[in-house]
Structure 1
Amino acid sequence: MNSNPYEAPQAQTLETQAPMSGSGRFSIRTSLSEAWEVATSNALLLIGSMIVFILLSFLSAITIIGYFLILPVLSWGAIRLGFQIYDGRGDFNTLFSGFREYGKALGRMLLLGILLFLISLPGSIVSIYADLQGGDDVSLSLIGFAISLAYSVVMVRLYFAPYFAVEGDRNAVGALQAAWSSTSGLWLRVIGLTILSALVAMSGVILLGVGMLFTVPLSYLMMISAYRQMVGRGTESA
């Protein structure tokens, strides 16, 4: 921590400023403990940025066109801010950093979203067909549900794709490939982390939903910690 008492406050977190190499693996326990340490040290920044993100996302969504032209860019900035907070240099203005490189941020995030949708689509086709038939064929509905569930289990390996697009500076296809290859042999661990992070995010409902302003960012920091453990941080992020 800087000893200058008159300096503007900075995000406080783990001492992980130097470039480091990832181990290719991650610990769920470490992800939770690191995320908790970072979140509790930067609670105001996390909650404030979460509130602004929710409000701007809502305004973008109701305009319809903003859902495709603004929300992806805002999500880019939110991901970058999450990594900066984890690295101890979070700045609220980073939430809007995607607009400074609008074409790059929009192109990557929008294409990545489309590709993820197309990849997940086959797993939903049977369920959609069953619904169109009025849901009378129970066996068809069960088959559709089983296929969708199987696809969901496979899709968790692509969860880190947006992180590779933003933090790893890869195009949409490259981000998907990197996410898939980086989680090779870690399938069950990724599922466990995904389930735990979802439970952590939903735990904020206990406090009348307000607690989710803290628990949702906490759950994302768990994923960022896992990414850092696997991939590390290059000199560009330091």
Structure 2
Amino acid sequence: MPPSDDRVERARPSVRSALEEGWHTLTAHVWTLIVAVLIYVAVESLSNVFSVPPGPGGPQQVVSVISPLGSILVTGPLVVGLAYLSLRAVRGFEPELDDLLAGFRRYVAAAGGMLLYGLAVTVGLVLFVVPGLVAMVRLSFTPYIIVDRELDPLDALRASWAATGGYAWSLFGLLMVSLLILVGGLILLIVGAIPAIAWIATSWAAYYERATRTAGETAPGDADPVVT
């Protein structure tokens, strides 16, 4: 007997359900997630420290353009690793700090996918704000798909675009709430930003998980994401 429309509607992801499931996941694995985010923030901060500021011209100008791309080659796989850790936690597995390295185990896909994601969002924001926001929302499943379906960078971006088609406004709402959570964390003497980022990470993983289940791409109690 097929599920009723009411049951299907309840199974659909929403901002509220993602935040609730994300919070539940965070509280269940708080210390692992906090330490994982601390590591991520530390690496991200170091990559920014070593980036080269724009110069008046010559070699420094060239390096200042290249250095952010080089940074993505390190932080991109780490973003994928944090997505993997969060997705495992949402699915009921015990997350481990070693999960942060998942992106490096699929380095080409992770670095390439996040580089293309960053370029798409940046170009969209430079040309006009709206295309950048659309890219940010529609391609937001990319890091999860890279570790969950073993797709190459372009296919992962295409799959994210297809999977988010019916959820664009809802995901935009989650993006806005995520920004508010992050700002709230920063207001709390900066320290609050760490649990805020952890909550945001688990909430997006929860949204992805529910969206793909609704689409029939995963099943309740689905196995571990593919990267091991």
TM-score, normalization by structure 1: 0.70
> 2:13 touches 2:207 (CA, 8 Å); kept in 1?
yes
Among 155, 158, 162, the alignment partner of 2:143 is 162
- How far is 1:160 from its partner? 1.1
- How far is 1:57 from its partner? 3.0
Tell me how many residue pairs correspond in the alignment.
Answer: 193
Letter in 1 for 2:13: F
- What does residue 36 of structure 2 align with? 49
Among 11, 18, 25, the alignment partner of 1:31 is 18
Higher gyration radius (CA):
1
Structure 1 residues 181, 77: CA separation in 2 closer, same or farther (over 3 Å shift)? same
Q: Tell me how far apart the structure 2 counterparts of residues 109 and 178 of structure 1 sit (CA, whole Å).
A: 14
Write the deviation string for residues 111-164 of structure 1: whole angstroms up to 9, x where unpaired.
2233224434543555xxxxxxxxxxxxxxxxxxxx223432353111111111
Extract unaligned runs of 5+ from structure 2. Answer: 1-9, 52-66
Q: Tell me how far apart the structure 2 counterparts of residues 155 and 166 of structure 1 sit (CA, whole Å).
A: 19
- What does residue 191 of structure 1 align with? 172
Q: In structure 2, the residue corresponding to 1:167 is in which secondary structure?
A: helix
Is 1:94 aligned to 2:99, yes or no?
yes
TM-score, normalization by structure 2: 0.73
- What does residue 79 of structure 1 align with? 83
Structure 1 residues 28, 92: CA separation in 2 closer, same or farther (over 3 Å shift)? same
Counting aligned pairs with the same residue, the percent is 26
> 1:84 touches 1:91 (CA, 8 Å); kept in 2?
no
Is 1:123 aligned to 2:124, yes or no?
yes
> 2:120 touches 2:135 (CA, 8 Å); kept in 1?
no
Letter in 1 for 2:100: L
Instruction: Tell me the C-alpha RMSD between the 2 structures.
Output: 2.7
Structure 1 residues 230, 78: CA separation in 2 closer, same or farther (over 3 Å shift)? same
Q: Tell me how far apart the structure 1 counterparts of residues 170 and 153 of structure 2 sit (CA, whole Å).
A: 24
Q: Tell me how far apart the structure 2 counterparts of residues 75 and 154 of structure 1 sit (CA, whole Å).
A: 17
- How far is 1:230 from its partner? 0.9
